[in-house]
Structure 1
Amino acid sequence: MSDKLIHINDEQFEAEVIKSDKPVLVDFWAPWCGPCRMVGSYLEDLAEELPNVKFVKVDIDENSANAAKYGVMSIPNLVLFKNGEIINRQVGALPKNELKALIENSLN
């Protein structure tokens, strides 16, 4: 697993996401979710390919507060933050190239 893909809990969310000095893609996921595991492997690759973006994973079973705060009803749920604000969201799995395009287009 990439060391650029960080697993965080609810207590770390503000420091790692809201106060981050670079854009953050948050992957709200759960271990029992097949599409989440597929997307997770794509995010490991993208964390290497897009060094200007921080990638974090939040297990919604163990950390439900921020999932509830940000309206996560279905997973995988990818939320892109910039300067502490949501700039894009993707619910459901996408192919890796489409995820990369979504991130890049959101930041340009």
Structure 2
Amino acid sequence: MLRYLDAETFAQAIASGIALIYFGASWCTPCKNISPVIEEIAAENPDITVGRIDVDEYGIVAAEYDIMSIPTLLFFKDGKLMDSSIGVVGKNIIQTKIDALK
């Protein structure tokens, strides 16, 4: 399940296990295109945390990770940033990055 995160819940979401965090904005057309893919990934991977950060509302979190373009995907394992992807990417690429962390 895709969770909408804020600065506080973001820290909790990445603290342990595998987490995919999606940075986007409501006005971003590429974000609208990738959102259904992220929702599918979340549904198919119940053992990981999948969260979304709205960069307009929580720019401080985006700034902490130098997010300059959206959509951006960050892949964490036990609180450590392991991988990232910028722009619209295919579901298979996202899943491969998740599988590499398992």
Runs (5+) with no aligned partner, structure 2:
none
TM-score (norm 1): 0.87
Which residue is 1:5 aligned to? 2
Identity of aligned residues (%): 32
- Provide the rounded CA distance (Å) in 2 between the counterparts of 1:98 and 1:86: 17
* 1:65 is aligned to 2:86: no
**Runs (4+) of structure 1 moved beyond 4 Å?**
none
- Provide the rounded CA distance (Å) in 2 between the counterparts of 1:102 and 1:38: 19
* 1:14 is aligned to 2:23: no
Residue 11 (structure 1) shift:
2.4
Runs (5+) with no aligned partner, structure 1:
none
- Provide the rounded CA distance (Å) in 1 between the counterparts of 2:32 and 2:96: 20
Which residue is 1:88 aligned to? 83
Which residue is 1:36 aligned to? 31
Which residue is 2:93 aligned to? 98
TM-score (norm 2): 0.92
The answer to whether the 8 A contact 1:10-1:64 is kept is: no
